[in-house]
Amino acid sequence: MTIEELYSIYKNCGGRVSTDSRAIKGGELFFALKGENFDGNAYAAKALEAGAAKAVVTADSGLEGDGFIPVEDTLATLQQLARYHRDNIFGPDKHLTVIGLTGTNGKTTTKELIREVLSKKFNVAATSGNLNNDIGVPLTILGMGQDTEIAVVEMGASHPDDIQKLVKVSAPDFGLITNVGRAHILGFGSFEGVKAAKGALYDFVAANGGTIFLNADDAVLAEMAAQRPNLSIVPYGVRYWDSIVLPSDEKHPFMRVAIPEDIGTDAESENLPVLETKLVGAYNATNALAAIAVGLHFGVSLDDAMAAIAAYEPANKRSQMVHTEKNTLIVDAYNANPSSMAVALESFAAIGAARKAVMLGQMGELGSISNEAHSEVVKAVKELPEVYLVGPEFKTALEAEYGKEVAAGQPVKEGLLWFGTSSELAEYIKSHPVENATVLIKGSRSQEMEKVIPVL
């Protein structure tokens, strides 16, 4: 079956695609994807029984009949279909504008802010949640209809060729890399490997005459852009725009940044309009300015862009402030790596509060730099009055730092405790309550640090 024929079937299905037989409501095109621990072919018949119009299966599955569409590779076919849809959603006379977004930290928050800003003027489709991988990106694109005016596609990466593959599916006209840091080193091999992988977005945009939005304050990104002379650049940045990140305190706990009305000029600070947000952490200033830069480029006024960002409330365990009956929680527990951990601790240090505590889960997928990275965190929190660390990597780092065996729930020193899991920490807090405190909760997704929230 040709991709054109499959696209006709997709359109007859109302543009509805599913990779989960349990989510079939009727009329969808089902793709039987295969992975290391699952085989969607085993559920293809159930998908048809549940009402799927057709099921795309692998040719070696042995599944035959009118309802099955055999292909060599179901994931590759899903991606090819998404690219065909991206190129033909409006037919031959109109082009869908796609903004591709990646980075080590802040990409999901930045994507959400860009969507909010552009929605002031356009009908915007964007990656849902964290569906930013080789399955999520094609599903995002296939979910777009002819009412879409601009698409914002988030792309994640943990291996060297991930972004290279995803840009072939999404074909972005515009690119934005939030930053490049030490994350997923286990998959990338080195920091240079991370730069090369993320830089595939710049490569694609440069090769196709597109434009990037560049944080001109970021020396690494500026160097990467300079290495690709064919890039058209729209710069932004806190320093580049002469903006001022205002201090946080108990009266103003959220990130605020004063921005010149005529961005890029040297305005007096007392006359700068202040962008108020519901985001926690000074590091979010760059994410907000990225969204403003995108909005301005597409004709959204500064006032409208600032209003959109001010109205945005995070609800995805990223830069989220939660007030409980006992405490104020800063929840940033969806992901963690050395750079995001460092800026989170730096931002938390700037918050004024009578009692402060940090609860940190270990960072995953760091490969050869894991010991060094966790040792850096242990040193960074050494002088803090109340620290709870979770995970075996922190145990190793603590024992190296303090020269003694560390046991769960036993003080390493006054105010510093370690636990094997977040569940163990939650149980400890039940009998050792933390109250009237501002608490930073951060860790890699695998650590499930949100488990401590109910007891706080």
pLDDT category at 191 given cuts 50, 70, 90 is: confident
- State pLDDT tens for residues 383-394: 999 999 999 999
Specify the pLDDT at position 308.
97
Mean pLDDT across 154-174: 91
Specify the pLDDT at position 351.
80
Mean pLDDT across 143-148: 93
Q: Which contacts of 65-73 are long-range, i.e. CB under 8 A and separated by 24 or more positions?
A: 68/44, 69/1, 69/6, 69/9, 71/1
What letter represents residue 46's amino acid?
K
Q: How far is CA 92 from the centre of its chain?
A: 33
Place of tokens 């990779």: 19
Q: Do domains 3-74 and 89-311 have the same CATH topology?
A: no
Provide the CATH topology of domain 89-311. UDP-N-acetylmuramoyl-L-alanine:D-glutamate ligase (3.40.1190)
Other beta carbons within 10 angstroms of residue 225's beta carbon come to: 22
What letter represents residue 388's amino acid?
Y
- State pLDDT tens for residues 302-321: 999 999 999 998 875 566 78
- Two tokens at 456? 């706080």
Helices (H), 350-440: 370-380, 392-402, 422-431
Q: How far is CA 12 from the centre of its chain?
A: 33
Question: What homologous superfamily is domain 320-455 in, according to CATH?
Answer: Mur ligase, C-terminal domain (3.90.190.20)
Domain boundaries, the chain: 3-74, 89-311, 320-455
Task: Evaluate if pTM is beyond 0.85.
Answer: no
- Residue 86: pLDDT over 70: yes
Residue 1 contacts residue 21 (beta carbons within 8 Å): no
CA atoms of 249 and 286, how far apart (whole Å): 20
Mean pLDDT across 116-128: 95
45-54, 62-71, 259-268: lowest mean pLDDT where?
259-268
Specify the pLDDT at position 280.
83
- State pLDDT tens for residues 57-74: 999 999 999 999 999 999
In sequence order, what are the residues at sequence separation of 6 or more whose Cβ sits closer than 8 angstroms to the Cβ of residue 67?
48, 52, 54, 55
Specify the pLDDT at position 267.
43
Average per-residue pLDDT for the chain: 90
Mean pLDDT across 359-386: 90
Mean pLDDT across 439-451: 89
- Residue 223: pLDDT over 60: yes
Q: How far is CA 179 from the centre of its chain?
A: 12
- Positive or negative, the CA dihedral 207, 208, 209, 214 is negative
Specify the pLDDT at position 411.
94
Residues pairing with 214 in the sheet: 235
pLDDT category at 188 given cuts 50, 70, 90 is: low
Specify the pLDDT at position 319.
67
Specify the pLDDT at position 269.
43
Selected residue with higher pLDDT from 317 and 194? 194
Mean pLDDT across 66-92: 95
- Residue 187: pLDDT over 60: no
Other beta carbons within 10 angstroms of residue 279's beta carbon come to: 25
What does R_g of the chain's alpha carbons equal in angstroms? 24
Question: What homologous superfamily is domain 3-74 in, according to CATH?
Answer: MurE/MurF, N-terminal domain (3.40.1390.10)
Selected residue with higher pLDDT from 119 and 363? 119
- Two tokens at 120? 């002031």
